[in-house]
Amino acid sequence: MAKGPRLSSLSRVAAPARGVAQRFGLLLLMTAAVALLVLGKTHSDAIRHLRVMAVEAVAPVLEVLSAPVISARHAIAEIENFWNTGRDNRSLREQVARLSKWQIIARNLEQENASLRALLVPVLDPAPQFISARVIGDTSGLFVQSALLNAGKQDGVERGQAVTTGQGLAGRVVEVGQRSSRLLLLTDLNSRVPVTMEHSRHRAVLAGDNSARPRLTFLPANANVNPGDRVVTSGHAGVFPPGLPVGIVSSVMDGEAHIQPYVDWARLEYVTILRYRAVPVGDIERRNEAAADAADATALDGASSTAGTDP
DSSP string of 218-283? S--TT----TT-EEEE--GGGSS-TT-EEEEEEEEETTEEEEEESS-GGG--EEEEEE--PPPHHH
- What pLDDT score was predicted for residue 8? 57
Domains and CATH numbers, the chain: 22-82 (no CATH), 129-281 (2.40.10.340)
For residues 262-275, average pLDDT = 91
Q: How confident is the model at residue 306 (pLDDT cuts 50, 70, 90)?
A: very low
Buried residues in 119-152 as b, exposed as e (16+ CB within 10 A): eeeeeeeeebeebebebeeeebeeeebbbbbebb
In whole angstroms, how far apart are CA 99 and each of 90, 93, 108, 110, 125? 14, 10, 14, 16, 31
Q: What is the pLDDT of residues 142-169, one digit of tens each?
A: 667 899 999 999 999 999 999 999 899 9
Q: How far apart are CA 43 and CA 2, in angstroms?
A: 56
**pLDDT attached to residue 46:** 73
**pLDDT: which is higher, 298 or 32:** 32
Q: Which of 112-116, 183-187, 231-235 has the lowest mean pLDDT?
A: 112-116
